[in-house]
């Protein structure tokens, strides 16, 4: 994938800064940050490739959308966008819910979090590249089939045409004899 547009959603400023610093080392990533789920939903029209989304988005604003609710909305509006869910702690319910609602992975914000996120991004972009290749191949194969069908049709028309005008001898038909004038 030439350029990957990544959205980072977290209400923790320190974590956002660290994640941006870490991910922006890869020059093929364009990173945009959001502190609420509501804001990221408004920006889905820009078609991000990957969204890294915090599970606990309502830590200080109890009325804010929760990470799971945002994940559900993202998948409803843009099913092709891959979402990596982040959480501050190991919680099997969070992990199960995240995967159930369509996240590709659930990453705990510990010391290996950024390595894991980077691996997930690599995996997602690789899969997207593979999908794009397959799609291109399918397109090419379709074009080739249409071309071959047209070629066969033209060949049949050509053969029928020539047999009508007698250019091709029909079975049982004598070939035309050229008369030699006698002097």
Partner 1 sequence: MANYKHIDLNYLNDLSLGSKDFMEDIINSFLKTTPGSIEKMKECLVKQDWQQIGGIAHKLKTSYSFMGMSDMVEVSKELQECGLKVKELEKIPALLDQMTTAYGLAEVELKEELSQLQS
Interaction site with partner 1 (CB under 8 A): 11-15, 17-18, 21-22, 25, 56, 58-60, 62, 88-89, 109-111, 114
Q: Which spans in 90-168 are helix H?
A: 92-100, 113-164
* Minimum distance, C-beta of residue 78 to partner 1, in the bound complex (Å): 28
* Minimum distance, C-beta of residue 66 to partner 1, in the bound complex (Å): 11
* Minimum distance, C-beta of residue 15 to partner 1, in the bound complex (Å): 5
Token pair, residue 59, equals 């830590």
* Minimum distance, C-beta of residue 114 to partner 1, in the bound complex (Å): 7
Task: Write out the H or E segment, with its range, that includes residue 31.
Answer: strand 29-34
Contact (CB, 8 A) for 107 and 86: yes
| Smaller CB separation from partner 1, 81 or 95 | 95
Q: Cα–Cα distance between 67 and 179 in angstroms, integer?
A: 94
| Smaller CB separation from partner 1, 81 or 94 | 94
Task: Write out the H or E segment, with its range, that includes residue 173.
Answer: none
| Smaller CB separation from partner 1, 15 or 69 | 15
Q: DSSP class of residue 49?
A: S
* Minimum distance, C-beta of residue 118 to partner 1, in the bound complex (Å): 13
Q: Cα–Cα distance between 58 and 79 in angstroms, integer?
A: 24
Query: CA 52 from chain center: how many Å?
Result: 17
Q: Which residues of 113-129 are buried (b: 16+ CB within 10 A; e: fewer)?
A: bbebbeebbeebbeebe
| Smaller CB separation from partner 1, 50 or 108 | 108
| Smaller CB separation from partner 1, 21 or 46 | 21
């Amino acid at each position: 994938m030439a350029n990957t547009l990544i959205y980072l959603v977290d209400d923790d400023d320190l974590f956002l800064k660290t994640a941006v610093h870490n991910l922006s080392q890869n020059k093929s990533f364009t990173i945009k940050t959001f502190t609420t789920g509501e804001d990221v939903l408004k920006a889905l029209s820009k078609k991000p490739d990957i969204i890294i989304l915090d599970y606990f988005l309502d830590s200080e604003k109890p009325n804010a959308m929760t990470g799971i609710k945002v994940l559900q909305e993202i998948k409803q509006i843009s099913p092709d966008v891959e979402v990596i869910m982040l959480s501050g702690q190991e919680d099997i319910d969070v992990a199960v819910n995240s995967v159930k609602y369509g996240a590709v992975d659930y990453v705990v914000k510990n010391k290996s979090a950024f390595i894991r996120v980077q691996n997930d991004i690599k995996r997602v972009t690789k899969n997207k590249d593979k999908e794009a290749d397959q799609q291109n191949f399918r397109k090419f194969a379709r074009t080739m089939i249409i071309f071959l069908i047209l070629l066969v049709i033209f060949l049949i028309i050509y053969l029928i045409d020539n047999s009508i005008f007698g250019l091709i001898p029909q079975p049982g038909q004598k070939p035309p004899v050229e008369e030699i004038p006698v002097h």
